[in-house]
Amino acid sequence: MSHSAHTFLVGVDGGGTGCRTAVGTLADGVLAQAQGGRANAATDPDMAIRNILIAVNAAAKKAGIPKSALKNAVAHLGLAGVMTQKDAQRIAMALPFEKSLVTDDRPTAVNGALGGEDGYLLSVGTGTISAANRSGTFSYIGGWGFHVADQGSGAWLGRASLEQTLLCHDGLAEHTELTRTLFARFEDDPNAIVAFSMSAKPGDYGALAPMIVSAANNGDPWGSAIMRKGADYLTRCLDALGFRPGDRMCLSGGVGPHYAAYLPDECLTGRVASKGTALDGAFSLARAAATSLQEDA
């Protein structure tokens, strides 16, 4: 096709809790957005593809764009769980768009939050992204997935709280309001927690995160301890990335801003608000790809 100002663009931000999509054009920018189901490429790639397409089609319908027109779109998808180029290619080949660029969720998060400027990002949602941008060069720490990483994330908080609940049940720690509430959620049955863990996805654990954050804010000892442990990990990430007091730093994601109360003061002296979301970053990267194609035509 001829890439023009009317080229359709698709941006996707996908993770363990759900996906967010945006459709629009080079000339008009974002025309509509929609949300969909889980889209973690490692957990269930086929489900991720289905949920992404449902959400993209919903956004296109809102924008008045015929579904058939999307075959000419340029898309950028930032998805949790994309670990290799093979992962990216598998998803890209399953999509109906003319050009689909698939990456993990770090580039879209950094691009959206920092708007292309230098700085540091702690994006903490279902998963965790720690990153730095120096003159367009990105550095990352972590991102190895829930089973071996994602410390501080919503999924990590959920799992840590259930671990603590079982320690309390076994008499190795004293129950608090948080652990009693969590235990009651499973009908005070430790086997129910074990059964949950056998099939739970990151998003399932992440659904418990608001309880931990709320408990910590209310002074619950175990809630606060878990948040402090997550904050310690995030602080070490900043140190490893070369952060210095006063440097620009953005806390984003559903859980990220809640860590402000637990991070050292020197980490917050240069704190800035996010310029945009990971979905904004994905759409911006789709726009850049379409513009590059237009220039090469």
Note down the domain range covering 52.
8-111+277-296
Judge whether 1 lies within some domain: no
Are 124 and 107 within one domain? no
What pLDDT score was predicted for residue 3? 52
Judge whether 3 lies within some domain: no
Are 159 and 281 within one domain? no
Of the pLDDT bands very low, low, confident and very high (cuts 50, 70, 90), residue 297 is low
Q: What is the pTM of this model?
A: 0.82
Q: Which two tokens stand for residue 238?
A: 């900043």
What pLDDT score was predicted for residue 61? 97
Q: How many domains does the chain have?
A: 2
Are 27 and 159 within one domain? no
Is 125 within 8 Å of 254 (Cβ atoms)? yes
Residues 6+ apart with CB under 8 A from 237: 122, 130, 141, 142
* Phi and psi torsions of 166, nearest 5°: -70, -35
Is 220 within 8 Å of 177 (Cβ atoms)? yes
pLDDT tens digits, 162-180: 999 999 999 999 999 999 9
Residue 51 CB: number of other CB atoms within 10 A? 22
Quote the CA–CA distance of 150 and 61 in Å, as a whole number: 35
Q: Which two tokens stand for residue 208?
A: 């418990």
Are 209 and 79 within one domain? no
Query: In this structure, what CATH number is given to the domain that contains residue 268?
Result: 3.30.420.40
> 3-state SS of the chain: helix, strand, coil percent to 5?
50, 20, 35
The mean per-residue pLDDT over the stretch 52-80 comes to: 96
What pLDDT score was predicted for residue 295? 75
Quote the CA–CA distance of 11 and 249 in Å, as a whole number: 25
Are 233 and 87 within one domain? no
Judge whether 56 lies within some domain: yes
Classified as helix, coil or strand, 83 is coil
pLDDT tens digits, 137-159: 899 998 788 999 999 999 999 99
Are 87 and 105 within one domain? yes
Q: Which two tokens stand for residue 172?
A: 């190795």
pLDDT tens digits, 85-141: 999 999 999 999 999 999 999 999 999 999 989 999 999 999 999 999 998 789 999
Are 258 and 133 within one domain? yes
Q: What's the count of helices (H) and strands (E) in the chain, helices before strands?
A: 10, 9
